[in-house]
Amino acid sequence: MIAFARFKPRPLAIKPRYTPEDVTVVVPTTFGKPSEIVQCFKQILQCAPSQLLIVTANSKVDAVKAACKLEHLENFTVYGVPKLNKRLQMLEALKHIETAVTVFADDDVDFQHSGFLRHLLASFEDGTVGAAGPQQRTRRETNPSIWNFLGIAYLERRNFNTGATNHIDGGISTLSGRTQAILTHILKNETFFHYFVNDSFLGRKLMVDDDKCLTRYIYSCGWKIALNFDPLCTIETTQEDSIKYLDQCVRWARAHWRGNLIVMLKETYWYKVHWYTLYAIYFSQFQTPALAVDGFLFWLLYCVLNPYAAYRASSPYSHSTQLLAYVSFTIWVIFTKIVKLIPHLCRYPQDIRFLPVSIAFSYFHGIINIYALLTTHTTVWGSRILEHDTKQTVQATTPLLLQAPVSAHVALKVSRSRLGLNKVID
């Protein structure tokens, strides 16, 4: 709590080491929701990077170009890969990057301010920093559902944890792939390419957990990772707003176990430098499920208050003393469940109504953690199949293309053979 409260935003330098002109933003995308994703591209370009590189499947390149031109976007390039795979999409983009800094961003993020990149780059004023990340928030709906609030709570807790550990010893569990800035020369070399494509867990190559792999590589090369929680260095993202949120939680929990176990087995930096992160991340991961841990603490308290229970003797403590102890313990447990949400509740006090469900979900999440540990062998990127996703993209892109103005006739004419439509868009 003290560390998070003392974690201050990083100021802008008068003569910064890097500016947005030194940045290439890379967005690997499935292009599943064209209208929303194009708005993400627009937000990125408003931050004035050197260029935007969009990497998708070969079968979707024309659809992406057409949708971007409808919004009159400029300074972007679209590349394709034979099959959707985020790691391969990232490596394809790296081949074409010439700027000093590379920013990887998911296709559902919203850069909240036009000065976002300048504030993100402020972390690199420290010459020992090789990568940087922003503050993250889940987009709050006007009338949030419980699923929306649980998504909000997830990132608020994550901000609290990563901000505290990064302030104390420079550690961080994962430099989130939602948005991450990395010095290009750290990644644009054969050593990293080999490391990235041969990442494995229990003998299986990983298609997922790209951000975990990047974090390990950067730390293992001796670079620091910094976070900037300036209000102008904030991204918003979306989460599943239905029961599908539970599927996201399972994927995140699997990534958490895989990533931490790989670090503990293969790396040494985690116990040599980041002593507090060692406690807060790698040791605390075994304190699950919370229901068992809190239940054990309650049993210990009962034993203290009733030391002669085995002999059926009365407790040496009065009823009021016992009641005070149990109530104090309950209040403390509840406080630990909500303390990380205080910043959000200060902004939206009306969301306090969700706290009972949030506390209950924290106990249920312990079961998710156990299930995730037992199924860490499940290593796929998402649940969509390329052919289905391609068909879905074409169907979603068609109405956008049909809205094209007549003046854009030549530029937006897309052939049947490349896009897969029933007729030529004219």
How far is Cα of residue 160 from the mean position of the Cα atoms in its chain? 14
Give the contacts of 306 (CB within 8 A, at least 6 positions apart).
315
| Residue 24 to residue 104: CA distance in whole angstroms | 9
The pLDDT value given to residue 380 = 59
Stretches where the chain sits below pLDDT 50 are 381-388, 390, 393-394, 396-398, 400-426
The pLDDT value given to residue 232 = 96
Structure tokens given for 245 = 């949120």
- How many other CB atoms sit within 10 Å of the CB of residue 328? 11
| N-to-C CA span, the chain | 60
- How many other CB atoms sit within 10 Å of the CB of residue 403? 8
What type of residue sits at position 225?
A: I
What type of residue sits at position 361?
A: F
Helices and strands counted in the chain (H then E): 18, 11
| Residue 10 to residue 243: CA distance in whole angstroms | 38
The pLDDT value given to residue 46 = 95
- Cβ atoms of 177 and 231 closer than 8 Å: no
| Residue 250 to residue 8: CA distance in whole angstroms | 32
Give the contacts of 295 (CB within 8 A, at least 6 positions apart).
none
Q: Please calculate the CA angle 281-284-286 and round it to the nearest 5 degrees.
A: 120
Give the contacts of 253 (CB within 8 A, at least 6 positions apart).
365, 368, 369, 371, 372, 373
Beta-bridge mates of residue 236: 110, 137
CA-closest candidate to residue 339, choices 194, 166, 193, 157: 157
Structure tokens given for 106 = 């998911």
Prediction pTM value: 0.86
- How many other CB atoms sit within 10 Å of the CB of residue 106? 20
| Residue 12 to residue 228: CA distance in whole angstroms | 11
